[in-house]
Chain A
């Protein structure tokens, strides 16, 4: 279980995350939704231990986030972060060198399915190929929590299908997946829970199927309701 307790991060002149408290259970895929700049990335980076909170704390199975939790929490950033000199093969080797839960076989299989080859230089990859590589190397870990920051950003339809495929393959009862996006529709069928972050604050956690069963509204409708001040009326 992942607990975010009154977590706050202040940067110079800006509060990026403001007192977010919530509990995330295993066996679910969470969508982390909110407009750009609402604090999704900062929250994720605090869970992965890359950013130190200003106040509050995050615990995974009772343990404070730190070096130990990095073994079980896999983070994928939106921006490419690999070393310039690396090839697709080197990226896999790097993860194998540093993460005990990394499976080279699974990585190679995914790379193959993605039409990537080991000798390709990461510098020369298109944004779609880079997105696939990042997801592949992250999902080839057998982590307990996966934090994927905008995995579908800037990639074409086919690459999206491929990426979603990899994500769904890795999902299971003992894992928690957290996927951020500012495009709600893309995640609508895949996630079962949605966390809304509005202007650095938590604006609600919803069961996505329950929204459809009981309220007869889609996740996108709920998103509009939470983030837009304009009433949609009967117009869709």
Chain B
């Protein structure tokens, strides 16, 4: 299993390198902007960094699904399926790689943001003011534990989305082997499942907690549980299909 995970990381290395380089360029712009007191440059670079954060994490997830698709539908598939590993390990390694990458990627961007905002505030000598503004902006006093739970919810929901993506790709590769519109059908299955389980999720939240718009610790915990449960179920079904139905 360790080796499988190792090679999954190797497959996504180039992409992560590209994201890192692009982020570094934006970060450099930001630092130059501060050095030159160029507010336009700072504004632009903060905007770009925000985009990089959003798309960086998104692309890592989507690329995981794309990698799986290549690993199922091209000659490259032999590399995985000639090894004496079950599909549970093969798929598990992919999931672990993806969840870890998303987590570390998210953490990286959060830390970068903290560092950048601190730099910004320190440069203009208004650290306290800055944090006061930040609190005002969010308009609430959120406990650290709440931040952690919300982070976990984001991570689990995103992992769940990736698992659904995996499932859609696997169903297409196994049951529609080699047919046309494989990619399109995968995408439709993906959207369909997301909508159905999304609706069920909402129904649960409304049924149990009433209002779904207000933040509540219990509701977030429930969501995490919901996403993890669904992820596990989809993972087991996907791996079973691979072990029993997939021909590469």
Contacts and interface: CB of A to CB of B under 8 A. Distances in A.
B82 A48 contact: yes
Interface residues of A, number: 24
Contacts of A70: 82-84
Given A50-B247, A85-B14, A67 B84 contact: yes
Contact of B84 (A12, A51, A79, A98): A98
A81 B86 CA distance: 19
A80 interface: yes
A59 to B, nearest CB: 17
A111 B236 CA distance: 41
Given A11-B178, A97-B3, A98-B3, A52 B245 contact: yes
B81 A94 contact: no
Given A52-B246, A79-B75, A98-B3, A12 B178 contact: yes
A153 to B, nearest CB: 14
A45 B177 CA distance: 15
Interface in A130-182: none
Contacts of A49: 81-82
Nearest to B174: A52
Contact of B79 (A11, A52, A67, A83): A83
A149 to B, nearest CB: 11
Contacts of A97: 3, 6-7
Chain A interface, DSSP helix/strand/loop, else mixed:
loop
Contact of B78 (A77, A85, A99): A77
27 contacts: A12-B178, A12-B179, A48-B82, A49-B81, A50-B77, A50-B78, A50-B248, A51-B247, A51-B248, A52-B247, A67-B86, A70-B84, A71-B84, A77-B75, A79-B75, A80-B75, A81-B76, A81-B77, A81-B78, A81-B79, A83-B76, A94-B7, A94-B79, A97-B7, A98-B83, A99-B83, A99-B84
Given A12-B179, A70-B82, A81-B77, 19 more contacts: A11-B177, A12-B177, A50-B81, A50-B247, A52-B245, A52-B247, A67-B84, A67-B85, A68-B84, A70-B84, A71-B84, A75-B82, A81-B76, A83-B7, A83-B10, A83-B76, A97-B7, A98-B83, A99-B84
